[in-house]
């Protein structure tokens, strides 16, 4: 009898330990290995092993040490989570005045958090870096934690999950950690049920929003629009990514040259899944600082990032209501077209019915009337959401009116999108 594919033992799967050995030997330079070992030694706690879930947080020690305590408070509030270890990478640019004293002060802040939140497993190391980039910093941090996990034999028992977080977290949903852990545990169970003993799961992105703070209500309106627009396409920010270390090592880790968008190297060939039920709120300080003179599209550029970001310690002031409308209006049409409208066709009822149609003649007269009606309704619902957000939350009748203008000539868009989806159906059938 032919053996069921579900019972085949895939002997060629590299183990997690083998994958780690290959990464350390072939993907890291000798200098990177030495640096990782030194930081891993700092991270090691001889009285207890690190947990199988690691939270990895870079801290610009010279600017952000005052955020450590409040951010650790958010992790202390987590409910129903399995154990996790927090790794703080206290870093500052080489040549910083009184560098040793700065690191000492940052370490004192960590010790205070440790004393206050004794249920948390908080580890740290302090380093100075010449010409640091966020890609380099995160790479050094993740390599060190991977080295410690390997040293302690964690990869012999399974994978290790890493959460790519920032120190300016303002709030976390109370089951954030548990939700991420549950996701990867479920994926492991499914893989093991078909004899995939060493699966490499792709990353997940959780919802991340910028906190609306009382001192910056107008900038908060901009970030509310930006965050909700991003949510339509289920795209995410770097600080909302979680991934197994097996995936991190398979993708060769962070690109040390990345000044921004540093996670791109980790998902560009695999994509990522969106994980609902877990949300972070982060500081809006970068928007507050730059929106006075820059458009939304210019916030996340290399010019906005550096080892001494002024948004971290400059006195910040809110933008004006007029400026709020200006920056949203500047990219409103693109946001509506490429995020809000596009997301209309993720409507569950539309996608469910779409699968039932095989149409070879894609002239407009031959398109299924049912799909056209479903597409129209989905677009109407989505545009109604955008209109209400701009009117009721952003508080701008002018911007809300632009939504109606955008829908005046929407029929061609709907028909072309349905043609595209039906053509994709045919292509998928062909494969």
Q: Label residue 2 by pLDDT band (50, 70, 90).
A: very low
Residue 184 has pLDDT above 60, yes or no: yes
pLDDT value, residue 157 = 94
Range(s) within the chain of domains with CATH label 3.90.550.10: 10-295
Cα–Cα distances (Å) from 376 to 223, 250, 379, 394, 415, in that order, read 29, 43, 5, 26, 9
**Average pLDDT estimate for 136-143:** 97
Residues above pLDDT 90, as percent of the chain: 72
Q: Label residue 367 by pLDDT band (50, 70, 90).
A: confident
Q: Label residue 1 by pLDDT band (50, 70, 90).
A: very low
Tokens of 78: 């987590």
Residue 235 has pLDDT above 90, yes or no: no
pLDDT value, residue 314 = 67
Residue 21 has pLDDT above 70, yes or no: yes
What pLDDT digit, counting tens, does each position of 389-425 carry? Answer: 999 999 999 999 999 887 777 888 888 888 888 888 7
pLDDT value, residue 8 = 45
Q: Label residue 261 by pLDDT band (50, 70, 90).
A: confident
What pLDDT digit, counting tens, does each position of 84-131 carry? Answer: 999 999 999 999 999 999 999 999 999 999 999 999 999 999 999 998
Contact 207, 240 (CB under 8 A): yes
Q: What is the full DSSP assignment across 209-260? A: EE---TT-HHHHHHHHHHHHHHHHTT---GGGEEEEHHHHHHTTS--TT-SS
Helix (H, G, I), strand (E, B) or coil at 393: helix
Residue 195, sorted as left (phi over 0), alpha (psi -120 to 50) or beta, turns out to be left
Residue 175 has pLDDT above 80, yes or no: yes
What pLDDT digit, counting tens, does each position of 271-322 carry? Answer: 999 999 999 999 999 999 999 988 988 887 766 666 666 666 667 899 999 9
pLDDT value, residue 430 = 60
> Cα 104 to the chain's mean position, in Å?
31
Stretch among 69-78, 157-166, 207-216, 407-416 having the lowest mean pLDDT = 407-416
Q: What is the full DSSP assignment across 160-209? A: -EEEE--TTEEEE-TTHHHHHHHHHHHHHHHHHHTT-SS--PPPEEEEEE
Provide the Cα torsion 257, 263, 265, 270; round to 10°. 180
What pLDDT digit, counting tens, does each position of 34-63 carry? Answer: 999 999 999 999 999 999 999 999 999 999
Dihedral sign (CA 141, 158, 261, 33): positive
> Cα 291 to the chain's mean position, in Å?
22
Residue whose structure tokens are 């030495």 = 34
> Of 3.40.50.720, 3.30.70.1450, 3.40.50.280, 3.90.550.10, which CATH number belongs to 10-295?
3.90.550.10
pLDDT value, residue 18 = 96
């Amino acid at each position: 009898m032919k053996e069921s594919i579900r019972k085949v033992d895939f002997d060629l799967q590299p183990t997690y330990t083998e994958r780690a050995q290959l990464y350390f030997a072939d993907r890291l330079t000798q200098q990177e290995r030495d640096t990782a070992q030194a930081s891993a030694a700092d991270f090691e706690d001889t009285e207890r092993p690190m947990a199988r879930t690691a939270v990895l947080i870079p801290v610009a020690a010279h600017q952000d040490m005052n955020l450590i305590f409040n951010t650790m408070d958010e992790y202390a509030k987590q409910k129903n989570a399995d154990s996790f270890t927090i790794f703080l990478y206290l870093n500052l640019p080489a040549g910083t005045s009184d560098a040793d004293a700065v690191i000492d002060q940052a370490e004192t802040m960590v010790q205070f958090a440790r004393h206050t939140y004794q249920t948390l497993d908080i580890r740290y190391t302090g380093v100075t870096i010449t010409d640091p980039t966020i890609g380099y910093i995160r790479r050094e941090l993740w390599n060190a934690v991977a080295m410690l996990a390997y040293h302690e034999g964690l990869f012999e028992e399974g994978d290790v999950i890493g959460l790519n977080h920032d120190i300016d977290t303002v709030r976390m949903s109370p089951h954030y950690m548990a939700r991420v852990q549950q996701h990867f545990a479920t994926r492991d169970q499914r893989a093991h049920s078909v004899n995939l003993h060493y699966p490499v799961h792709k990353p997940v992105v959780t919802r991340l929003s910028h906190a609306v703070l009382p001192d910056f209500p107008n900038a908060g309106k901009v970030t509310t629009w930006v965050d909700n627009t991003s949510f339509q396409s289920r795209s995410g920010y770097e600080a909302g990514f979680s991934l197994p270390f097996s995936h991190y090592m398979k993708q060769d880790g962070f690109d040390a040259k990345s000044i921004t968008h540093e996670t791109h190297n980790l998902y560009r060939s695999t994509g990522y899944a969106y994980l609902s039920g877990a949300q972070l709120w982060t500081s809006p300080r970068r928007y507050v600082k730059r929106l006075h003179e820059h458009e939304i599209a210019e916030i996340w550029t290399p010019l906005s990032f550096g080892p001494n970001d002024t948004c971290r310690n400059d006195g910040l002031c809110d933008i004006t209501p007029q400026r709020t409308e200006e920056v949203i209006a500047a990219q409103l049409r693109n946001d509506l077209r490429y995020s809000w409208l596009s997301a209309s066709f993720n409507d569950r009822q539309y996608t469910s019915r779409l699968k039932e149609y095989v149409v070879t003649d894609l002239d407009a007269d031959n398109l299924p009337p049912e799909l056209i009606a479903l597409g129209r309704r989905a677009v109407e619902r989505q545009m109604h959401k955008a209109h209400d957000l701009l009117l009721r939350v952003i508080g701008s009748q002018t911007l809300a009116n632009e939504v109606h203008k955008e829908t005046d000539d929407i029929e061609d868009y709907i028909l072309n999108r349905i043609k595209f989806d039906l053509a994709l159906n045919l292509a998928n059938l062909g494969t």
